[in-house]
Amino acid sequence: MSETTLQTPAPAAVNTKPVVVGLLILFIAYIAILFAGIPQKWTAASHAAHDPGAEETFPEKELLPAPEAESAGHEAVKAPPLWAAVPFCVLLLCIAILPLIPATEHFWESNLNRFIVAAGLGLIVLLYYAFVHPSPVELHWPSHAVVDGALPKAGTIFVNAIIGEYISFIVLLFSLFTITGGIRISGDLKATPALNSLILAIGAILASFIGTTGAAMLLIRLLLDTNKERKYKVHTVIMFILAVCNCGGCLLPIGDPPLFLGYLRGVNFLWTMNLWPMWLFVNAILIGLYFLWDTCWFYRKEAPLDIAIDETEVQPLRINGLFPNLFCLIGVVLAVMFLDPSKALGATETSEGWYPPMFLREIVQLGMVFISLLFGSKAVRAENDFNFSAIIEVAALFFGIFICMQAPLQILNEKGGQITESVYAIGGKIGLNEAQEFFWMSGSLSSVLDNAPTYVVFFETARAADAAICQTDEAHAEQIRKDEAVSGVPISLALLVAISLGSVMMGAMTYIGNGPNFMVKSIAEQSGIKMPSFFGYIGYSICILFPILLVMTLIFLR
């Protein structure tokens, strides 16, 4: 009798055909409205809201109206009361607590159930604005307007949250997630502390150049494959989230969404490279701490048999799926850099240049996804065990988060001055300076709110504060002019540095501070790693990252 060898069946590739068909339908629809001139009108309306001369820039376009409250006969726009932030707080508590309760643990594993909870709380917010909120609300997309009436107010909040913010956010994450899912950096290397530290260091560098999402999705599977024989690996994933998903992404605007929003508001593209000393300080300590922690504690706790298996079952490093995914990844980065509808391409002294139509940037990103799915290797995706579960989880939860956080963001916008004065008072008592106060304010809120809109709030707060001081202090005005020549915006360099670092690095303090945090958690759990709960993760971040950031502020933010 001949022996038969049992072979493990090859992993099945996820069916991407529905996504490809859906993208094709979306492209056809966008081309149709593009020929109808609708995205161009949206772009023109956006410029009209921020530039009084937009009619000259878009003389051939019919600008959408942007009535103000006074002209419409409405009362002044007012922020909601503090209790309007309750749905947002409840959603955070659901994310934190429901996975821990035996009765709801399995319920929360379903992305559909997550969406029902998140969207249900979002619906409560919309109903509040429709039937309870007494004053008009401001529309921010595509142009500015003040809107009154029950359904119009609810629609305005939805448009601001979903069309104005969420779509761009989730399209970028989806594009980077899907494209990098077609690239496999494989190899079952020896999972030594030094090798894991090297992967973290490479990820921290890549995060600034292909985005924290791109770097995380590119390297997380290699890290998990390398450590699959080890028993203790939760700490490795946590350090990966801290360094690669967050702290590594502060050298370029494409590294993290807050810095990209700063770039859109006038910050010079390469100015963020000036953050390299703080980037190096934080990431070097994080990776060095991981090396010592793993070497002196966890690696020694591993069973000798597991270490022996890890050293025996070694597979060389291989990179598959670079075509066409590497070019698609570059295409996404270039689209984010150059297809901003608020910035003209080819502008000269005699020409206004060309403003990309609204959502062309997102369509090009999705076009890169289309090419990746259509021409990329299905076998590589199967080897990656690629599926859309992690990005669906992020999309489901952040759909509700973006709607629910409209109330706290409006409260912060209106009460920002009072909050700033209070923090100044507290900061003065404990010896903090302005830069340190802005760092901790922007960072603390970036931990529980999405760090991109939080950055915008404090960016504008700092700009307004400096403008007010300049009116009475000529020396300060002269310094701001010098700082503007360096950064491109009339904000004190110390404050701009503080806001940038706080928004990016303290997004690592919770799972919801930055989009890639949740995706890495989800991928790790799909690989069989029991990740800490919401509060458990916060315990790690407070013990590890918080002291490092505290020392950084004392050294660099003076």
Most confident of 66-75, 268-277, 362-371: 362-371
Give the torsion through C-alpha atoms of 250, 332, 158, 57, to 10 deg. Answer: 100
Higher pLDDT, 46 or 29: 29
Query: What span, in angstroms and rounded, lies between the C-alpha atoms of 146 and 347?
Result: 32
- Would you say residue 423 has pLDDT above 70? no
Q: What residue spans define the domains of the chain?
A: 17-54+322-376, 82-139+149-321+377-556
Among 72-81, 205-214, 355-364, name the one with the lowest average pLDDT. Answer: 72-81
What was the pLDDT predicted at 10? 52
pLDDT at 443 (0 to 100): 92
For 340-385, write each residue's pLDDT tens digit: 888 788 877 777 789 999 999 999 999 999 999 999 999 999 988 8
C-alpha dist (Å) from residue 273 to 254, 436, 438, 452, 484:
12, 20, 20, 19, 16
Q: Any residues with CB less than 8 A from the CB of 2 and at least 6 apart, and which?
A: none
Phi-psi region of 149 (alpha: psi -120 to 50; beta: other; left: phi over 0): left
**What pLDDT is attached to residue 499?**
95
- pLDDT band, very low/low/confident/very high, at 1 (cuts 50, 70, 90): very low
Q: What is the pLDDT of residue 425?
A: 60
- Which two tokens mark 186? 């494989």
Higher pLDDT, 418 or 501: 501
Q: With CA atoms as reference, report the closest residue to 280 among 555, 5, 558.
A: 555
Q: What pLDDT, on a 0 to 100 scale, did the predictor assign at position 411?
A: 83
Return the pLDDT at 234. 96
Q: What is the pLDDT, as a whole number, of residue 53?
A: 55
* pLDDT at residue number 68: 42
Task: With cut-offs at 50, 70 and 90, classify the pLDDT of residue 50.
Answer: low
Residue 33 vs residue 266, higher pLDDT: 33
Q: Please tell me the distance from the alpha carbon of residue 247 to that of residue 508, in angstroms, as a whole number.
A: 7
Mean pLDDT (whole number) for 100-124: 94
Integer Cα distance of 21 and 49 in angstroms: 36
Q: How high is the pLDDT of residue 47?
A: 75
Q: Is the pLDDT of residue 514 over 90?
A: no
d(CA 6, CA 114): 40
Q: Per-residue confidence at 424, pLDDT binned at 50, 70, 90?
A: low
Residue pLDDT, tens place only, 178-203: 999 999 887 767 889 999 999 999 99
Q: Which of 521, 548, 519, 539 is nearest to 174 (CA)?
A: 519
* In 159-275, alpha helices (H): 167-180, 193-226, 234-242, 257-264
Residue 542 has pLDDT above 90, yes or no: yes
Q: What is the pTM of this model?
A: 0.83
Residue 242 has a pLDDT of 97
Q: Is 142:68 a contact under the CB 8 Å cutoff?
A: no
Q: Report residue 70's pLDDT band, with 50, 70 and 90 as the boundaries.
A: very low
What angle is formed at CA 14 by the lines to CA 374 and CA 21, rounded to 5 degrees?
Answer: 45
For the cut 50, the answer to whether the pLDDT of residue 48 exceeds it is yes
The reported pLDDT for the residue numbered 49 is 62
pLDDT tier at 440 (50, 70, 90 boundaries)?
very high
Question: Chain-wide mean pLDDT for the chain?
Answer: 86
% of the chain beyond a pLDDT of 70: 89
Residue 545 has pLDDT above 70, yes or no: yes
Instruction: Return the higher-pLDDT residue of 311 and 333.
Output: 333
